Amino acid sequence: MSPLSTPTRTPARWLAALLATSHLLLPGAQAQYYKISTTEEIKESARTLAYDLMLQYKGNQTGEIPGILPGPPTEHKGDYYWWEGGAMMGTYIDYWFLTGDPSYNHVIMEGMLHQVGPYADYQPPNHTASLGNDDQGFWGMSAMLAAENKFPNPPDDKPQWLALAQAVWATQAAPDRHDSTCGGGLRWQIPVTNAGYNYKNTIANACFFDIGARLARYTKNETYAKYATETFEWIFNIGYIDTSQKDPPGWRVYDGAHVEHNCTDINRAQFSYNAALLLHGAAFMYNYTNGSDIWKTRVDGLLDGILRDFFPDGVAFELPCEGRKGACTTDMLSFKGYVHRWMAVVTKVAPYTADKILPVLRTSTEAAVKQCTGPPTGRRCGFYWSGGEYIDVAVDKTSGAGEAMNVLAAVSSLLIDQADPPATNETGISRGDPNAGSRSRPIEPLTPITTADRAGASILTLLILGSIIGMWSWMSFGE
């Protein structure tokens, strides 16, 4: 007989039972679901977070496309652009590496291989209309992560992780991706007709820099290191990294500028993933150069700037938009997770940073899980960590995949101190290909390009970026 049907259940006991379960009925009084005090609690919380995030993914369902989150928004298919699927793949590769849970490895393998494109360089033709160097770069970074984490290798007749990262790097190092405007640097977009082709931004160049730095460490090939160094110095010299302000100290990383202004009209919006990715790549270069002073200076400056600008009170905060609920775009709503993941890895390749980084990641993650109390499960996660209260994802008009990915990344990264450093050719299992990317072809526009096309693309870009710059001009930090 069920206890609920026992005849000895008095009104007083019934009331006590109701009060004990009332947190399940009253959304405003939800108890914190996720626990992260011990290794087992962290793994169990990460396991549930990984399950909930996978509910946002449709690529493993019949008739759906492996590797991508629902989207793109330009086709009214969902909130997410192609690149964020690649970022999610990387989040799960780290999840497997740090927790040992292989539950989603087959999904990640399928998604990563489905999106490689006809030349195995992460340039699928059906995403050409919104294909940026940064979009391709995120998929390349996830392939590089698979090699570094010793993720299970694809079948022999499929592209291998290290070779995929090499192919992405090779296509971005090719002369057709570089020109003399602004003294060098990659453009944001790849096809010349895409809105944004006239914009050279930090994230596109940071992806190229990061992959190169990691390939240098993995392969010991100096060519990768040379390109990585030159790319970082271009970002610095063009003014996207600002070290001029000494009080408070720490470097500031800005977003980008336009080629028609010789990249002097710098958009001073500070996004956390720009700074964190440069820190990540700089730490790999620090490791590759056996702790050189110049790369240590760069690691220290970037780290101090990140902690100052994006971790007020020790909790991740997206500076350009988080102060106004609903102001962050779908892309921005996923940045916190990358920042946690990249900073955690920095402690493995530049170990002297661990004492400064790990306590902040712990404090930030504690705030993150505290607000994961949303309905209908009582464990749904929002974006606004510092308030300690769940804010429904409807505020930002997204499905919540970025918000869920952030917390999964933060919780999983708490296990970084138990993990091995990223692998190299000496310890890894992935096969490279020195000719990877050589079969790739420049992306051709769908129609012949005319002067009107170029003018139209430039005007559209100026309108789009102008509205963004206007929106964020109030927060140009330090101005």
Per residue in 44-70, pLDDT (tens digit) is: 999 999 999 999 999 999 999 999 999
In single-letter form, the type of residue at position 146 comes to A
CATH number at residue 88: 1.50.10.20
* 14 in a structural domain: no
pLDDT tens-place string over residues 336-346: 999 999 999 99
Task: Tell me what the pLDDT averaged over the chain comes to.
Answer: 89
* Entry field: residues in the chain: 479
The Cα 68–Cα 135 span in angstroms is 12
Q: How many CB atoms lie within 10 A of CB 3?
A: 9
Cα within 13 Å of Cα(285), Cβ side: 31
Q: Amino acid letter at 435? A: N
Residue 20: pLDDT over 50: no
What gap in Å lies between CA 173 and CA 177, rounded to an integer? 7
Q: Read off the pLDDT band of 440 (50, 70, 90).
A: confident
Which range marks the domain in which residue 304 is found?
41-475
In a domain, 11, yes or no: no
Residue 28 lies in a domain: no
Of 11 and 372, the structure prediction assigns the larger pLDDT to 372
Measured CA distances, 53 to 114, 315, 404 (Å): 20, 22, 6
8 within some domain: no
Q: b vs e for 25-53, b when ≥16 Cβ sit within 10 Å of the residue's Cβ?
A: eeeeebeebbebeeeeebbbbbbbbbebb
Q: Is residue 72 part of a domain?
A: yes
Question: What CA–CA distance (Å, rounded) separates 87 from 109?
Answer: 14
Residues 324-368: tens digit of each pLDDT: 999 999 999 999 999 999 999 999 999 999 999 999 999 999 999
pLDDT attached to residue 137: 98
SS3 category, 267: strand
Residue 449 falls inside a structural domain:
yes
Query: pLDDT higher for 402 or 13?
Result: 402
DSSP-derived secondary structure letter, 313: G
Please tell me the total count of domains within the chain. Answer: 1
Q: What does the pLDDT read at residue 444?
A: 53
Only one residue has tokens 């999106």, namely 115
Is 184 in contact with 193 (CB distance < 8 Å)? no
Q: What is the mean pLDDT of residues 228-255?
A: 93
- pLDDT tens digits, one per residue of 68-109: 999 999 999 999 999 999 999 999 999 999 999 999 999 999
pTM greater than 0.85: yes
- Percentage of the chain modeled with pLDDT above 90: 82
Q: Which residue has the tokens 């952030």?
A: 406
CA–CA separation, 166 and 170 (whole Å): 6
Let me know if residue 21 belongs to a domain. no
In a domain, 256, yes or no: yes
